[in-house]
Amino acid sequence: MLFPAKSFYAQVLRLLLPFIIVLVLVYSYLVQEATKQTEDYLIHRFLDAEATRIIQAEDPRVAKEATNTRFLVTYWESDPALPTSYSKLSSGIFDLKDQTSHLLVAKVPQVNERLFIVFNEEDLSDLEAYEIFLGSGLVILAFLMLLIAGGVASALIAKKLAYPLEKLVSQLQQGWKFGEPLSGSTRQDEIGELSKGLESYAGRLQEVLEREKAFTRHASHEMRTPIGVIKNSLAVINIPDISQEKREISLKRISNACKDLEQLTNVFLMLGRPSPSITSTAINIHDLIEATLGRINHLIEQQQLTIVIQGDKSKSVLTHHDLFKVLMTNLILNAIDHGNGSLNVRYDERQIEVENLIPENKAHAPERHNQENHGYGLEIVERIANTLGWQFQCQNQASLFSAKVTFIPD
């Protein structure tokens, strides 16, 4: 299980929280500014209404005196108490420098004099003395509320985004089996692509695993041949009163089987390496075919096979000796084991092809070779061909099966 701080959910949350904090700060600033602007607008409308009431009154001077309150002070232009800085202003509404006072200047035609109305926010209420504390407190409270709301929203969004991945990880950790649909595979987004990609990758791994398991079985089967020869030869040697000639023949067979076993071990170790080091030598193709047929001559005689070899006896191929020998052995043995009476081997400097008749009970076999229809040997042939950079092909044509290895691809 992932450490919580390193989970996808935690990472998404860490990305969202700074954005939410900035958003809350901006929103708090906008709320504060909107409140201030609204307050100023209402005060300006109030000053306009007071000025209009005085101007429209029958006696503006009486109306002006009635306007004076604790927070609202009026002056005529001729009033000695009028601050000098006010008299220099033209008609209109002004926010004074102290940021808490507002001034309206208006012409009153009835008295042919200008009217000055001052609105002082500090005198509006006893709470104005605590404005700084109240304002700061409200701003902090609003900020905290927005921050908490933003944090909760971030957590919910992160959880929503992380849920498909958490579900996918949980399914994989609980023993998902290949072939079962992965969570999110039906989605039409990146999560769906991830699930489909994992399913496809698992499918490819499954195919590789099956091939490797099959190859292991085939390699094991291949190793049994020299082991069987050794066991049989030892059984012959242990027969009482066996002739010296038969003893020597059995010992020679054991020696050859040990060499074959060593050779097969080296070949399979080489095939198991990612990038094996291959030493190439010039190998006469015809001589190798003859040597291979000579080692299995007892099978040829036992099955009364007809073997035809077609090719220039002088042709050779530059390759690894042991790999080519095992490849050739498996090509011919596969044709003998699954053929029907005749074997045709054709070769030149570019390729070698082995053909055999297919028995009637196997004439329906599909083109793709497999263990059941065409024997384990061709799996080894294909692996060796791939290791050497060659091409391997096999196919059925009517009742004829052919396996071809191309040394020099077109």
Neighbour count for residue 219 (Cβ, 10 Å): 19
Distance CA 83, CA 77 (A): 10
Where the chain has pLDDT below 50, the residues are: 1-3, 127, 363-375
Q: What does the pLDDT read at residue 136? A: 66
CB 340 within 8 A of CB 305: no
Q: What does the pLDDT read at residue 361? A: 59
Give the count of alpha carbons within 13 A of 134, CB side only.
6
CATH number for the region 178-275 comes to: 1.10.287
Domain ranges of the chain: 4-155, 178-275, 278-406
CB 358 within 8 A of CB 342: no
pLDDT tens-digit profile of 321-341?
Answer: 999 998 998 898 888 887 777
Q: What does the pLDDT read at residue 129? A: 52
Q: What does the pLDDT read at residue 290? A: 92
Q: How buried is 343 (Cβ within 10 angstroms: 0-12 exposed, 13-18 middle, 19+ buried)? A: buried
- Among the four given CATH numbers 3.30.565.10, 3.40.50.300, 3.40.50.1370, 1.25.40.10, the one describing domain 278-406: 3.30.565.10
- Cα→Cα distances 217→212, 270, 339, 371, Å: 9, 17, 22, 10
Among candidate residues 383, 405, 386, 384, the one with its CA nearest the CA of residue 394: 405
Q: What does the pLDDT read at residue 7? A: 66
Q: How buried is 77 (Cβ within 10 angstroms: 0-12 exposed, 13-18 middle, 19+ buried)? A: middle
Q: What does the pLDDT read at residue 366? A: 40
Our CA dihedral for 49, 53, 56, 60, rounded to 10 degrees, sits at -130
Q: What does the pLDDT read at residue 374? A: 41
Whether 178-275 shares its CATH topology with 278-406 is answered: no
- DSSP lists the bridge partners of residue 310 as 346
pLDDT tens-digit profile of 8-25?
Answer: 667 777 777 787 778 777
| Residue 251 structure tokens | 């010992």
Q: What does the pLDDT read at residue 369? A: 42
pTM of the model: 0.51
